[in-house]
Structure 1
Amino acid sequence: MIPFPKGLSRTPAARPGPLGPVADAPHGFGGTWLAVGLMSGTSMDGIDAAIIETDGETVVGVGPSLTLPYDDAFRDRLRAMLGRTSLDDEDGRRLHRDLALRHAEAVRALLKGSEVTPDLIGFHGHTLWHDPKAGVTVQAGDPALLARELGVPVVADLRQADVAAGGEGAPLVPIYHAALAEGLDRPLVVLNIGGVANVTWIGKRGPKDLIAFDTGPGNGPLDDWVARHTGEPCDRDGRLAAAGSLDEVRLLRLMDHAYFARPAPKSLDRKDFDHVPGIVEGLSLEDGATTLTAFIVAAVVQSATHLPRSPVRWVVTGGGRHNPVLMDTLTGWLGAPVQPVEAVGWNGDALEAQAFAFLAARHRRNLPITFPGTTGAPEPMTGGRLYRP
């Protein structure tokens, strides 16, 4: 565990704010869908695909999942396109097409050897730019092409309506977390540590009691630091962080960012912390890894000040849960039980992909996918657009 820095305070939990009601579900639907969910996340490691059976309110069954990794050349293409606010040029159109074709390949690989034909596909695409204050969120990946390739209806464009209404457009997964958490002791926090990190606080009323927001950088700056110095994609097993020392002065500079003082709900673009390399520049490889790992945890600790009550435990999904130094430091600094989501029977490698399958089903039932407490939307909002083959 990284020692807790003297200059960082654990502020008491904030008082609860208005969460907003969840609209009642339409009546008269008694069926379920087999839905495939697809996710290409901020870590840019590949495409996650998963299949579930759901009616958009409960998860009836969970099927197989897989990750189709990106090759280095394609990852470099994606990285070069981050920050694009439009796909209306040759490079943008080519990426839009190629991402859809790679997602079609992931679905075919997921279904290979099975007799299953999905009813729906929930497609996130890959976020290139997310600036809700400017009313802009841009995802690459052509959903119409994906529907034609697979012959299955595709639900996509899931962030746009929320952003247009003044919401953050992120995170989208909390309503799925709430569905899975039925039967678990609450309040419960689900912490997702991907390229960006976010939390879902689930109160005792489940879907009617949600708060969610991005805590700050996840693995993104740490992965970039390790890749730049070693060529490796990440700090495997936290070995570099375990060998380094925390630079407390630089950590406090990292935490001196206006984002952390903003009230929740709030969301980030991966590039919002592009200044980070300049702050850690000059540190050794190991000390940089230690300090950036501590930065992830410090942002999570600060996020707890926005929660109405302390949770009975934190469950962690995303790639960060595989880093034992990160997990041990979270446990020590939060002073609460911290476990990977597998401890409650969830599959952390498939969770986000499953969530987009769930959101596709909610779209078909005209159920809300974002809420005042999760994105700052003015009311519970439906979202997404259906693309038919």
Structure 2
Amino acid sequence: MAELSGYFIGLMSGTSLDGIDAVIVRLDSEATAAEQSTRLELIDSISQPLPTELRQQILQLTQPGDNEIELLGQVDVAFSRLQAEIVNQLLQQSGIKPEQIRAIGSHGQTLRHRPEQPIPFTLQVGDPNTLAEATGICVVADVRRRDLAAGGQGAPLVPAFHAQLFRHPEHQRAIVNIGGMANVTLLPADASSPVIGYDTGPGNVLLDSWIQRHQQQPFDRNGDWAGSGRCDQQLLQQLLSLDYFRQPAPKSTGREQFNIDWLDQQLSLQSLSLRPEDVQATLLEFSARTIADALQQHQPGPSQLFVCGGGAHNQLLMLRLQNLLPKITLSSTATLGLEPDWVEACAFAWLAQRCLAQLPGNLPAVTGARGERILGGIYPA
């Protein structure tokens, strides 16, 4: 058992590709495999959009194409250089020196996530060697592949962090992270009951892609554009018919399944001609329904639901979730003391601490791994 108090940095860039989130947190002095809570103080945070060219290159690499290895090598280093710039900005902003940071926990940027292939794999870019060299700070990275090697999905990993930070002995709680994809964590009040967590399906990824195509906006602020349209039930039922939603957990998904080309294919099967805003309204209902359906499958269900991720700011999406789940009290994780935009980045700071302490970072009941595993590789300063 290791004493690892101090400052950690967490870096997160999700499937929405909206940017890189970075946080400095102070974590409690002792991390143990058995403890049910974590003392975490968010010291400072910053978010920076991805440059247009880099974002386009990442999008290109999420699908098969030409000259992939050459582009992959370039993007791997370019992404880590951007991470280093953001870390150095955050340190300057906070007044904390690099030598005060115990480690950076870097998620990187997922390009492919294929845990169900005959030879399963997950691939993230963001070279930790470059990041360590450019910041002078120890880096913990490549946190998903050990779980995958142990027979797990390699995702979602944040439920372990949710359990440490948000579990309550008297309330059945659920945490829903709505990023590009959405994932749910069910936290039983009984500490002896297992945590349940998995990807429910798309969060913002289709909503963002559709409004980028038709309105040239990065996202649908407050769900206003979706609110101007009408949900088409025929399209909704077609989207909901995907086999993924009937698969049992553990399960995880990504842009490989939910992307603009897949959406175009679904629309081509429709005999109706839908207005773009009606498609947006249907996509919002699609995200809300798949999250709500997932929560309603579990009994006893949660009495409290806390939302994090960018989707927490979509007021229409939050309203639809509340209407679909009338018996559940819904709020954001800000109610629990952590702003919704920073939860995932904080989780990767926590995973860095767990790795340095030689403690497991996964929940086998969530990922399907054969057992608990220490996650990540360590790249010294």
Fold agreement, TM-score > 0.5: yes
User: Residue in 2 aligned with 1:107?
Assistant: 87
User: Residue in 2 aligned with 1:95?
Assistant: 75
SS state of the match for residue 326, structure 1? helix
Q: How far apart are residue 369 of structure 1 and its match?
A: 1.2
Contact 2:167 2:189 in 1 (8 A): no
User: Residue in 1 aligned with 2:264?
Assistant: 277
Distance in 2, matches of 1:122 and 1:205, equals: 30
Contact 2:17 2:55 in 1 (8 A): yes
Q: How far apart are residue 370 of structure 1 and its match?
A: 1.2
The Cα RMSD (Å) is: 2.0
User: Residue in 1 aligned with 2:103?
Assistant: 120
The residue identity in structure 2 corresponding to 1:279 is Q
SS state of the match for residue 158, structure 1? coil
User: Residue in 1 aligned with 2:130?
Assistant: 145
SS state of the match for residue 105, structure 2? strand
* 1:247 matched to 2:232: yes
**Identity in percent:** 36
53-62 or 251-260, larger mean C-alpha shift? 53-62
182-191 or 360-369, larger mean C-alpha shift? 182-191
* 1:260 matched to 2:242: no
When residues 119 and 150 of structure 1 are mapped into structure 2, their CA distance, relative to the original with a 3 A threshold, is same
* 1:385 matched to 2:377: yes
Matches within 5 A, 1:190-205: 190-205=175-190
When residues 163 and 276 of structure 1 are mapped into structure 2, their CA distance, relative to the original with a 3 A threshold, is same
Distance in 2, matches of 1:119 and 1:208, equals: 33
Q: How far apart are residue 80 of structure 1 and its match?
A: 1.2
Match of 1:69 among 49, 59, 64: 49
SS state of the match for residue 257, structure 2? helix
When residues 247 and 382 of structure 1 are mapped into structure 2, their CA distance, relative to the original with a 3 A threshold, is same
SS state of the match for residue 133, structure 1? coil
58-67 or 227-236, larger mean C-alpha shift? 58-67
The residue identity in structure 2 corresponding to 1:75 is R
Distance in 2, matches of 1:179 and 1:385, equals: 22
Instruction: List per-residue Cα deviations over 1:121-173 (Å, max 9, x = no partner).
Output: 10110000000122210001101111111111111110001111110100111
* TM-score of the pair, normalised by structure 1: 0.88
Matches within 5 A, 1:324-335: 324-335=315-326
41-50 or 204-213, larger mean C-alpha shift? 204-213
* 1:166 matched to 2:151: yes
SS state of the match for residue 76, structure 2? helix
* TM-score of the pair, normalised by structure 2: 0.90
Q: How many residues align?
A: 362
User: Residue in 2 aligned with 1:293?
Assistant: 284
SS state of the match for residue 293, structure 1? helix
If asked which structure has higher relative contact order (CA below 8 Å, sep 6+), I would say: 1
SS state of the match for residue 7, structure 2? strand
Match of 1:361 among 323, 342, 353: 353
Instruction: List per-residue Cα deviations over 1:47-106 (Å, max 9, x = no partner).
Output: 100011224452242210110111322221221111369997221111000000000011
Structure 1: runs of 5 or more not aligned: 1-25
Contact 2:4 2:31 in 1 (8 A): no
Distance in 2, matches of 1:82 and 1:306, equals: 31
When residues 187 and 86 of structure 1 are mapped into structure 2, their CA distance, relative to the original with a 3 A threshold, is farther
When residues 86 and 148 of structure 1 are mapped into structure 2, their CA distance, relative to the original with a 3 A threshold, is farther
User: Residue in 1 aligned with 2:343?
Assistant: 351
* 1:133 matched to 2:113: no
* 1:322 matched to 2:313: yes
When residues 84 and 64 of structure 1 are mapped into structure 2, their CA distance, relative to the original with a 3 A threshold, is farther
User: Residue in 1 aligned with 2:35?
Assistant: none
When residues 379 and 308 of structure 1 are mapped into structure 2, their CA distance, relative to the original with a 3 A threshold, is farther
Contact 2:138 2:380 in 1 (8 A): yes
Distance in 1, matches of 2:176 and 2:379, equals: 31
User: Residue in 2 aligned with 1:310?
Assistant: 301
Q: How far apart are residue 366 of structure 1 and its match?
A: 1.7
When residues 193 and 271 of structure 1 are mapped into structure 2, their CA distance, relative to the original with a 3 A threshold, is same
When residues 83 and 353 of structure 1 are mapped into structure 2, their CA distance, relative to the original with a 3 A threshold, is same
Q: How far apart are residue 241 of structure 1 and its match?
A: 1.3
Contact 1:260 1:302 in 2 (8 A): no
252-261 or 232-241, larger mean C-alpha shift? 232-241
Distance in 1, matches of 2:3 and 2:364, equals: 28
When residues 369 and 87 of structure 1 are mapped into structure 2, their CA distance, relative to the original with a 3 A threshold, is farther
When residues 322 and 81 of structure 1 are mapped into structure 2, their CA distance, relative to the original with a 3 A threshold, is same
Contact 1:84 1:129 in 2 (8 A): no
